[in-house]
A and B are shown apart, each in its own frame.
Chain A
């Protein structure tokens, strides 16, 4: 990382060790399953073994006979209580809490059992007798489009089609493609995968003696949960207290509200006892928010010299049995419009059709700002295919088409205003650091020997920081975020924000922002998040929005404090506030450095000697961002593929990121390492697969693979800094860049390795078997054409 500020003075840009770590290192984290309340019951859920089946009857009695089992609830019980359905976040659909009439996907929640122990609840769940009548399942979205079997009978229209969405200029794009000297077209599938945080989802629900609900839950967005619970249950919002304690990883999986949460609340209300529900890993992988499942037809038109002239993407999206994708309301395909990437497309058009299938619902999770990952992968793969067909170096093709530094703010063909960027500098830095020319020489030598070596690039642009309230809302709630800061008399303080860290290190980085703005010690700024009784209302942590939105709110709340402090400083210095300046982390009389007071002095005075000023030193800020931020980066993967086994070895991987101003380089690098490893997993290992009967084939960590220390490559990182012009400290957000940018770099590298064989595209995950098959098929084709 290139910023090296003086840690004696500055808090921003310093690799401060994390304040939260001593707690986690000593086993003193407080995760939801660590919370145990007196008299607590445990809940277990009964799941449908069928992907699509009529439910003829449910017999609770055998379960109720198990010692310790206190109650069993079914969908019909919930419907009778008016709690049968829960709203999905972007508001286009609703989801059954427990199946009524029909089960619509394998593992769908059908009944909930409450008992005095985990074990008794699970015993009871095994004994609930359900008479199912299997129905034909619809597994593929392309089959769903035919409407031969219509999955949902509760909706007005008898079709599996959920919605059509489009953006851009359809006719102009058609004309530009017709006129193009070169057109490439490729079906690119971004497979269904799952974020699988190591801590599964869970909750503890308790109604206290005053009838107030205390709800401890693995939530990335506790305030949104509070509002959603109020809307679903009719409980007044002041009677709901949501707490997200320590969260063991989220990656988008802990954004939606799940049926288990509603059941736990209902059980607690019914039985007048606290109820705990902790998912099993199987429940996590089979029922909660999956990611992707986008089937994209990508077309690029270009001149013979490689100048791109048009982009068209037509997508079929598989949303599963309910449209539970947690997108902002006005963006049913999320930020997919970023699909023009880092390039100057004069015209573009993207359209999408979403379908119901008999599969688990979800779609936007897994370290991705609302479909940016799919879009980024599509354009970065397609640019490589274009380069290949034009016989151009993929780096040259990219450079030729990049938006130039002097063009920012840049209006993209699909409507985004990119705030800032410097794509050429980032790419140049990456080329130099990876030693591109040497790698090309080495590759040529290896190719002459028949060895398969590949170099893959991804020069992505992200769009994060949702979002400006005129465009972005969830359930109608504007996507601002908030901060509240109190400075105590002795110069320490507390900052509370509407976000919720799940490992991102907010307890450290938020303190660094406050410390930088106020000249205080970050070790003495306590950070609190996740408790709706104390934190200001915010939309939470996902989509890389914490730093762009809440980070800005924190900075601006601190500046409000500084403005008030200036008046108190003036009182102490016996000067007028206009003559007092904030310089070098203290207040001084303009031009007279000897006459100064520190923020610590002012804090004490705020409570002991404020003069004519209102006592106290605190402020809050609700930040409505004027625009999104647009982090970018150049990623380079170098791979060797064994042509006999199909095994890919990632020999080197370099990530050069530009996320604007860096708050804590160590934390940023950690985020990049983690995201790259998740990108590696998606590129090479992970897919939630269903067989043709709709059975989930990866319901555990034996079949759904998470990279271990043996697979995870060594990561090289570097950065450039192009501050966001509209963010108070110029920060842009970084958590998701590595997962957005890396899959294309990996796949481009493997395809580059296979290009001497004539392999054009293989869909992820690039397992040994798939790569081996691609090599075999290519060699067979060559043998035939040689005959």
Chain B
């Protein structure tokens, strides 16, 4: 199959890659852009390990999208969360609350949560459980993941209430 040139804007950096039109975004990010934080855990878009965020707000399972479709969008992957050597409050929350074990689902969990908090900055526990229901975890049993996201929501809220400071992810 003929390859075509695609320009992907990932975490603010342009990647020029040559891929077949059928190349899934997940594999383009992993194999062509060298960003292996985005994981693949199923063949049926069930597990959510591959979630990335489009245009700063839309969580997408990157195994449901072709790389060619992602052109023209800003893509944020887990590698784009930490800024200036500082963990994002979500990453800090997962670390503090033991919200990860093997780490395989973690990038997807973080990216889904990231998008959720953009839209719903003050989620309840029920909201978090609902939003994360497309992301599977086999290790943690989710209780600590929910706590981690709530901690992050609180931390991000506190950042916003201090007008002088700019949120690390902006």
Contact = CB atoms under 8 A, between A and B. Distances in A.
Does chain A bind chain B? Answer: yes
Interface of A: 17-18, 20-31, 33-34, 36, 118-119, 195-200, 246-249, 251, 280-282, 502-505, 666-667, 669-671, 673-674, 676-678, 700-702, 706, 708-710, 712, 714-715
Contact of A503 (B23, B30, B43, B102): B102
Given A502-B102, A709-B133, A281 B41 contact: yes
B68 interface: no
B106 A25 contact: yes
Contacts of A702: 44, 46
Nearest to A704: B46
Contacts of B79: 26-28
A627 to B, nearest CB: 29
Contact of A701 (B31, B47, B141): B47
26 contacts: A18-B98, A21-B103, A24-B102, A24-B103, A25-B91, A27-B38, A33-B40, A34-B36, A118-B31, A119-B20, A198-B39, A280-B43, A281-B44, A281-B47, A503-B139, A671-B101, A674-B140, A677-B142, A678-B138, A700-B44, A708-B132, A708-B134, A709-B145, A710-B133, A714-B143, A715-B143
Given A197-B138, A503-B139, A677-B140, 19 more contacts: A17-B98, A18-B95, A23-B103, A25-B100, A26-B87, A27-B37, A27-B38, A29-B103, A31-B104, A198-B41, A198-B49, A248-B41, A281-B44, A674-B140, A676-B141, A678-B138, A701-B44, A709-B129, A715-B141
Contacts of A710: 129-130, 133
Contacts of A676: 141
Contact of A31 (B39, B82, B91, B100): B39
A708 B82 contact: no
Given A27-B107, A701-B47, A674 B101 contact: yes
A119 B23 contact: yes
A251 B100 CA distance: 15
Give the one of B20, B105, B137 with max A CB within 10 A.
Answer: B137
B103 A26 contact: no
B115 interface: no
Interface string B77-89: 1110110000100
Interface of B: 1, 20, 22-23, 27, 30-31, 35-44, 46-47, 49, 77-79, 81-82, 87, 91, 94-96, 98, 100-107, 110, 128-130, 132-146
A249 B44 CA distance: 19
B140 A673 contact: yes
Given A249-B104, A700-B43, A710-B133, A25 B141 contact: no
B103 A667 contact: no
Contacts, number: 173
Contact of B138 (A118, A119, A251, A709): A251
B75 to A, nearest CB: 13
Contact of A20 (B103, B105, B134, B138): B103
A666 B98 contact: yes
A29 B40 CA distance: 14
Given A17-B96, A27-B77, A503-B102, A670 B140 contact: yes
A692 B41 CA distance: 29
Given A119-B20, A280-B43, A673 B141 contact: yes
Nearest to A676: B141
A504 B98 CA distance: 11
A330 B99 CA distance: 39
A706 B138 contact: yes
Nearest to A26: B82
Given A25-B91, A281-B43, A674-B140, A33 B30 contact: yes
A23 B79 CA distance: 11
A21 B95 contact: yes
A489 B78 CA distance: 37
Given A198-B47, A709-B133, A503 B103 contact: yes
B42 A281 contact: yes
Contacts of A22: 87, 95
B42 A674 contact: no
Contacts of A24: 100, 102-103, 106
User: Most chain-B CB neighbours within 10 Å: which of A23, A196, A674?
Assistant: A674
Contacts of A198: 39, 41, 47, 49, 102, 104-105, 136-138
A408 to B, nearest CB: 31
A84 to B, nearest CB: 29
A709 B46 contact: no
A331 B92 CA distance: 45
Q: Which of A29, A31, A677 has the most CB of B within 10 A?
A: A29
Contacts of A715: 141, 143
B102 A247 contact: yes
Contact of A246 (B35, B42, B103, B134): B103
Contacts of B37: 26-29
Contacts of B44: 281, 700-702
A752 B27 CA distance: 49
Contacts of A30: 36
A674 B47 contact: no
B43 A709 contact: no
